[in-house]
Structure 1
Amino acid sequence: MTDVKLYIDGEWVETGEGLPVLDPATEEIIGQVPLATTADLDRALEAATRGYGQWRNTPIAERTGILLRAAALLTERADRVARVMTREQGKPLPEARGEVLRVAGALRWDAEDARRAYGRIIPSADDTVLSVRQEPIGPVAAFTPWNFPAGSPMRKIAGALAAGCSIVIKAAEETPGTACELVRCFADAGVPAGVLNLVFGDPAEVSRHLIASEAIRLVAFTGSIPVGKLLAAQAGAAMKPSLMELGGHAPVIVCADADPVRAARKSVFAKFVNAGQVCTSPSRFLVHTSVYERFVEEFGAATDRVVVGNGLDDGVTMGPLANPRRLKAMEELVADAVSKGAVLNRGGERLDRPGFFFAPTVLTGVTEQMRVMREEPFGPIAPIMAFDDLDDALRIANSLPYGLAAYGFTRSSKTAETLVRGFEAGILSINHCGGSVHEAPSGGVKSSGYGREGGPEGLEAYLVTKRVSHLLVD
């Protein structure tokens, strides 16, 4: 386990109180995470204020160069960072390494895209120059979860720093080592003191203190809908904009003309990535009756090929859940579905071994009334329901307050367009279950949040638009 400390004003800081960090594959204590005091948070806020004054005035070429060096360092250290991530989060080592390399790419994208945060000159009167400029919004308070220990923090850090903002980020206490490794790359690349500050602590206390501070100009959060609503309300009360990437319960519609075998294999791969602990995970499968049995057959066969175990072991394709709370939630969702008539096709129970392991689970014969079809499982459970009419399938898909991701399978371009127009989601994939990419935006609608991360839109939240009218005088 890496050395875990707070990072404030360019220095690694120790604090007295801390919490144990567990390896979810063994339940062993592998480290300690320090908890920031109010004084620590105040120092971070003061540092971010000073750091912003310096960083926003750093020439864009110099800023970009520093961020590209950080990306290069992260790429060089990918194996080490991945091993830290697997120890504290549980995902298989190849998944962890892939995540590290993706976020290094995301940082490179944002660093280069910041060069294209153009303003414009607007034709006006002969004696006036009318222009629009893009400027950094100011110090950012960011809060990230444990399921993507590199991906979630990097989205916030890269966007903020590329735009010229400073940031105080509270990363997840369950996965502090990965966040520290990311920050070390920025520090070693030459990011000035105060520009990037990392803290851990009691989530409610830290968020309340940071959001209330006059220093903070933007709140960025990835996590659950209930917590997102709370933080958005706090930001709104202080008249601060917020960027919210919240939970989802992604529907998958497999149409009558789809290839059920291909759809099942693509879906299984996406379903059990990170043990289903992904906000965009396909988690409600709506399959046309004409291909239902073939889809279920292949889905079950592909599920049998999922290898569950310690993410450090060769050949493992699904690791443990992150904590005992997730195990309890899985057990409750399965019990509710079975009690209401669902058929347990695969899995359905905790594995009898140390660690927080739950078997890859397939439920068939599910109905809309079951909790698993209405509550985001955030785990390795796949409920499969048959439908006869595509309009009804879209009604079911859109019936929940979630609107983050959705997936559809069809051979018809016309049907594909029906899905594109019909799904209420911010992210849509047709004939595959694609994840996030640097060059395109990700984000939700309805209760799944607002604002976008990735692509040119990813910098928008961290910038403000200034209109300048300059009257020419002799």
Structure 2
Amino acid sequence: MTTAEYTPKLGLYIAGEWLSGEGRDTHRVVNPATGEGQADLPLATAADLDAALAAAERGFKTWRATPPEQRAAVLVKAAALLRERGDHIARIATLEQGKILAEAKGEIPASANLLEFHAGEAQRIYGRVLQRPAGTRSMVLQQPIGPVAAFCAWNFPIMNVVRKIAPALAAGCSIILKPSEETAGSACEVMRCFQDAGVPGDVAQLVFGVPDMVSRQLLASPVTRKLSFTGSVPVGKHLMRLAADTMMRATMELGGHGPVLVFDDCDLEKTLDLLVAHKFRNAGQVCVSPTRFHVQEGIYDKFAAGFAERSKRLNVGDGLAKGTQMGPMANPRRPEAIDALVQQAKGAGARVLAGGERIGGAIGGGGGFFYAPTVLADVPLEAQAMNEEPFGPIALLRPFATLEDAVEQANRLPFGLGAYAFTENARRQNLLIDAVEAGMLAINTVRLSWPDAPFGGVKDSGYGSEDGPEGIAAHMVTKSVHIA
């Protein structure tokens, strides 16, 4: 693999123009499979951010007045361009994020479907008329909130960008998006789809920069009316504090620590096949990744052996290489952090059934940022990995006895994003639906994300929803009108 394979034109997109160079500081985009630099990304200056804010303010005035069917047509066109350019964009995502090419390609139809759903919802933003005495009227209207400042993570470099832009545009808002600098090429190529689909230059802006500087400037501005963030709990809480000064609305999709409750009446082999593939998808760098596997005592040993056996068979390597089932981690910080968690858990008494070590070269140097798929059994509750989101290829296994024990463990942590349960007992399923504290619960499946369903968490995992009608509603304000 050579640097020449990484072909996106990196830049800032402000007021309809692509900007680069001109003395700006730069960030080196690295290939996680090799540790080698691929291209330099220009970073926004304070003046660039001021220009983006001014453009978003202008853009909102025109876009909110754009007929909904016209906004919908633009989103449908963007979806078509995304599908048309999908192979090219997916390859860029693998080169800069590390995930296997099949997973990167999977982001394309998921993102296009989301755009098409939001296109339909743009034409279904309803209000209502209230009953009043003859000759008078009361109405409830839903109106776009205003310019949005959105920040998204590197783990889904295509989908995360679309997930921020689509509902904002559908609602009639303008947006300034700051994706991760580590996956800038994917974001630039997706933004070109919106540009070529006819989104006016002032309506959608793309900036990169020093995160603290960018967030402080965008969130301090009275132009910004909404914050949308996908990322870690500590950073999310920091941004919420900044946003509080201007009382702006916020949608916060924060970290998780996905509990998996496996009962003894499940289809064990099918459950194992589903969970191992889902656990190590994107090297475990998924906010809804299944992480804490609480398994009923009668099948615990068989489950642990089957999970470890399947994990050991996974082919780890370059995401572009044929036959690779799990790629590298996204940056040199991740394998180092994962190894620290594994060593601490081992010291606390956990048993290593698979993996437990870095592979594929020196961390921070050549050879890429690889960590073996890791399965730890009998992990003590006091282990750090059982209490902090690992965000990596670690499966943590513990037995439980009763339904009450399982629910207690599922709800033990302050996180509440995605949760999973595997049982054929319908009554137990209903009890879990009521008892498990999570924004999303999957029973006998691992899929939590659908275009028409809300995606979001509770407790420290954030609030508000993306996707579904709720995602667009989060970009609207309610106004009551009374006429006498």
For residue 442 of structure 1, what is the aligned residue in structure 2? 455
Q: What is the identity percentage for the equivalent residue pairs of Structure 1 and Structure 2?
A: 51
Cα separation, 1, equivalents of 2:108 and 2:25: 29
Cα separation, 2, equivalents of 1:118 and 1:461: 14
Q: Which runs of 5+ in 2 are unaligned?
A: 1-5, 362-366
Matched, 1:14 2:27: no
Give the Å deviation of 1:88.
0.3
For residue 412 of structure 1, what is the aligned residue in structure 2? 425
Cα separation, 2, equivalents of 1:348 and 1:428: 29
Cα separation, 2, equivalents of 1:305 and 1:470: 69
For residue 74 of structure 2, what is the aligned residue in structure 1? 66
Give 1:7's aligned amino acid: Y
Q: 1:131-181: CA deviations, max 9, x gaps? A: 111111000000011111111121110010010000001110000000001
Q: 1:56-112: CA deviations, max 9, x gaps? A: 101111111111111110110000000000000000111001112211110111111
Match of 1:4 among 3, 10, 20: 10
Q: Is residue 255–residue 409 contact of structure 1 (8 Å, CA) maintained in 2?
A: yes
Matched, 1:260 2:268: yes
Give the Å deviation of 1:320.
0.3
Give the Å deviation of 1:129.
1.7
Query: Secondary structure, in 3 states, of the residue corresponding to 1:175?
Result: helix
Give the Å deviation of 1:183.
0.5
Q: Is residue 52–residue 195 contact of structure 1 (8 Å, CA) maintained in 2?
A: yes
Q: Is residue 360–residue 369 contact of structure 2 (8 Å, CA) maintained in 1?
A: no
Higher mean C-alpha deviation, range 200-209 or range 150-159: 150-159
Q: 1:258-309: CA deviations, max 9, x gaps? A: 2222222111111000000000000000001101111112111221232111
Give the Å deviation of 1:396.
1.4
TM-score by length of 2: 0.96
Match of 1:304 among 297, 312, 318: 312
Match of 1:459 among 472, 479, 484: 472
For residue 90 of structure 2, what is the aligned residue in structure 1? 82
For residue 140 of structure 2, what is the aligned residue in structure 1? 132
Cα separation, 1, equivalents of 2:71 and 2:387: 45
TM-score by length of 1: 0.98
Give the Å deviation of 1:115.
0.7
Cα separation, 2, equivalents of 1:393 and 1:190: 51
Query: Secondary structure, in 3 states, of the residue corresponding to 2:193?
Result: helix
Matched, 1:180 2:188: yes
Cα separation, 1, equivalents of 2:400 and 2:268: 14
Q: Is residue 69–residue 122 contact of structure 2 (8 Å, CA) maintained in 1?
A: no
For residue 105 of structure 1, what is the aligned residue in structure 2? 113
For residue 42 of structure 1, what is the aligned residue in structure 2? 50
Give the Å deviation of 1:352.
3.3
For residue 403 of structure 2, what is the aligned residue in structure 1? 390
Give the Å deviation of 1:30.
0.8
The 5 Å alignment of 1:25-424 reads 25-353=33-361, 354-424=367-437
For residue 426 of structure 1, what is the aligned residue in structure 2? 439
Q: Is residue 264–residue 296 contact of structure 1 (8 Å, CA) maintained in 2?
A: no
Query: Secondary structure, in 3 states, of the residue corresponding to 1:115?
Result: coil
Q: Is residue 90–residue 101 contact of structure 2 (8 Å, CA) maintained in 1?
A: yes
Cα separation, 2, equivalents of 1:324 and 1:83: 21
Give the Å deviation of 1:460.
1.0
Q: Is residue 254–residue 408 contact of structure 1 (8 Å, CA) maintained in 2?
A: yes
Cα separation, 1, equivalents of 2:321 and 2:77: 32
Q: 1:295-334: CA deviations, max 9, x gaps? A: 1121112212321111111111110001111111111111
Query: Secondary structure, in 3 states, of the residue corresponding to 2:448?
Result: coil
Cα separation, 1, equivalents of 2:179 and 2:28: 15
Q: Is residue 265–residue 298 contact of structure 1 (8 Å, CA) maintained in 2?
A: no
Cα separation, 2, equivalents of 1:314 and 1:362: 25
Give the Å deviation of 1:123.
1.3
Cα separation, 2, equivalents of 1:129 and 1:64: 30
Give 1:4's aligned amino acid: L
Count of residue pairs brought into register by the alignment: 471
Cα separation, 2, equivalents of 1:104 and 1:96: 13
Cα separation, 1, equivalents of 2:449 and 2:39: 31
Q: Is residue 283–residue 381 contact of structure 1 (8 Å, CA) maintained in 2?
A: yes
